[in-house]
Structure 1
C-alpha cells in the first residue's frame, strides 16, 4: 500500500477544505489591497469633493501629494486608515467566501469560460460585503477630507452618529451597491477571462494573477467612476456647510447636483487617482488571495492522504 496525496485544484479549493480557507485568504487580501494604496485613495476622495476649500484644490496626483505633504504633513495621507483595516478584513473574508460559494453554485468552476457565472458571483459577494463595509467607508472618507476634525476612528463614528444618526452610515449604501455591483461584475468577469487566457493550464502563476487583477481593476474603476463621485458626495455631505449638499438625498439627487455644479466633466473627478489606486490594489488583492488559496490548498493536500493500491 502506498500513500499518495490527492492532487487538488487550488483554484476552487479542495472539497474537504472548510469555508474558513476562503475567508482567511480573503481577509488578508482585503487588508493588503486597501492599506497599501490608501494615500492614493485619500487623494481621490479629496479630488471628488464638490466644493473644496481653496487649500484642497489639486491639479493632479503629484500636485496633491506635494501640496498635502507640504502644508499638512505626509501623515495626513494615512488619516482614517485604521477604519479600513478594521473593516476590510471581515468584509473581504465575507466577500471572497461568498464569491467562491456562488461561483461554484453558478457553475463557474467548470472548464471553459464562464463570464456570466463569475459576474453573478461577484454581484452576490459585493451585496454581502458592502453591508458590512459601508459604515467603515463613511468614517474613512470623513477623516480623509481637508480640515477633518476627527482624531481617531471611534471619535469620528461617535460624533457622526450623534449628529446625523445611523442613517449617515448607510445613506450611500444603495449608491454603493449601484456602483460596486457593476464594478465587481466587470472586475470578476475580466479577471476570470484574462486568467484563463494568460494561463490555460490553471496552475498557480503569480504573474498571471497580478496582471489579470491589475487590468481588471483598472477597467472596472474607470467605468464606475461617475458612481464613485456620487458616493463620495453622499458620504461626506455632513462635513460641508453648503445646504444643498447637506440635503442631498440619494443617487439621483447627487447626479443632478453634480451636473448642475460642474457639468458632465464633474462625473470624471478623481478618475486618475481612482484608476491608479485600483489597478495595483486589485493586482495585490488577487495576488495575495490566489497565493493564500494555493498555500492553504497545499497544506490541506498534505494533511489528507488517501490509500492507493
Structure 2
C-alpha cells in the first residue's frame, strides 16, 4: 500500500497538466472553449492546466494504495492456487496478470470513481476546486453523484489497466530472459512507457467516450444516454477523428505517468524489501549476540565466584 500510494500520487501529480489538457480537448464542443492543442501549449494557458492538481494528488494516495495492494494480493493468491495444478502452463501468465488487474480495478472503483468524477470535472472547468466539486456532485444526485461515471469508467479501465499491466509484465519477463538480471529503475520506467503507449493508442476512443459521459453528468439535459449513444453521436456529428482529439496529450500524460508510476513502484518495493531484510538480519544478530553475551557473562561470573581461596577452580561445566 505504501509503494502504491507513493508511486501513483507522484506520477499523477507530475503529469497532471498533460492530463488536464487531454480532458479539455475531449470535452463535448458545446461545453468547451474549443481550444486546440497548440493554444493550450501557450504560456498564458499554463495556469489553466494546473487546476485540480491538489485534488488529484489527495485522491490518488488512497487509490494507488488500494489498487496495488489488491493487485499484488490477487496475483499471489491466484498464483498459489493455480500452481498446484499440473495443467498450468506458462501461457497462463498473461491471463493471470489481466484477471488480477481486472479484480483490483473493480474493487478499487469505490475509490477511483469519485476521484475520476471530481478531478475530471475540475479539469474540465465545471468546478473551481475540490470543495465546490464535492458540493456540486453531491447536490446533483447525493452519493450517487460521485458514482455516475462508474460503468463507463470500469468499461474503459479494465481493458486499459489490464492490457498495460500484462504488457509490462511480459516485457519484464523478456528482459529477464535476455539479460539474466532484474531490470534497473530506468528500465522499469522505460518498459512502463512502452506498455502504456501501446495501450493508449488502442483505448483512446473509449477514453474519449468516458470523458464525455463523466463531464456531462452535471448538465441538464444530458447530451448522451450511454456508451453506445455517445459513440454514435460523436461519429455522426463530429466524425471518427473526434475520438483521437485527445491522443497527443493523452500520450504525453499517460505514457510518462505510467512509466514514472511503475518505475517508482518497483523502486519502492526494492527499498522496502531491502529495509525489511536488514531489520530481520539486525534482529537476528541482536538475538544471537544477546544469547552469546548472556552465556559469556554467566561463564565469567561463575569463574569469578568459583576461583576463591577455598575453591580455586571453576565450577564444573560452566567454563573452560
Query: What's the TM-score bracket when you normalise by the shorter of the two chains?
Result: 0.7 to 0.9
Relative distance call for 1:216 and 1:273 in structure 2 (3 A) is same
CA RMSD of aligned residues (A): 2.4
DSSP 3-state at the match of 1:234: helix
Relative distance call for 1:75 and 1:160 in structure 2 (3 A) is same
* Aligned residue number for residue 22 of structure 2: 44
The reply to whether residue 197 of structure 1 matches residue 169 of structure 2 is no
| Distance across 1 between alignment mates of 2:98 and 2:31 | 40
* Aligned residue number for residue 26 of structure 1: 4
| Distance across 2 between alignment mates of 1:173 and 1:301 | 41
Per-residue deviation, 1:297: 0.2
Q: Is there any run of 5+ residues in structure 1 with no aligned partner, and where? A: 1-22
* Aligned residue number for residue 74 of structure 1: 46
Per-residue deviation, 1:238: 4.2
Return the match for 2:276 from 300, 306, 309: 300
| Distance across 2 between alignment mates of 1:195 and 1:189 | 10
TM-score (norm 1): 0.82
Per-residue deviation, 1:176: 0.9
DSSP 3-state at the match of 2:198: helix
Between stretches 292-301 and 161-170, larger displacement belongs to 161-170
Between Structure 1 and Structure 2, which shows a larger proportion of helix residues? 2
Q: Is there any run of 5+ residues in structure 2 with no aligned partner, and where? A: 84-88, 289-320
Flag the structure with larger Rg. 2
| Distance across 2 between alignment mates of 1:54 and 1:126 | 30
| Distance across 2 between alignment mates of 1:106 and 1:55 | 48
The reply to whether residue 274 of structure 1 matches residue 253 of structure 2 is no
Per-residue deviation, 1:57: 2.5
TM-score (norm 2): 0.79
Return the match for 1:250 from 218, 223, 226: 226
CA offsets per residue over residues 232-291 of structure 1, 9 Å max, x none? 1111114657x4xx2523322222222222122222221111122111000000011001
How many residue pairs get aligned? The number is 275
Relative distance call for 1:54 and 1:104 in structure 2 (3 A) is closer
Report 1 or 2 for greater relative contact order, CA contacts < 8 Å, sequence distance ≥ 6. Answer: 1
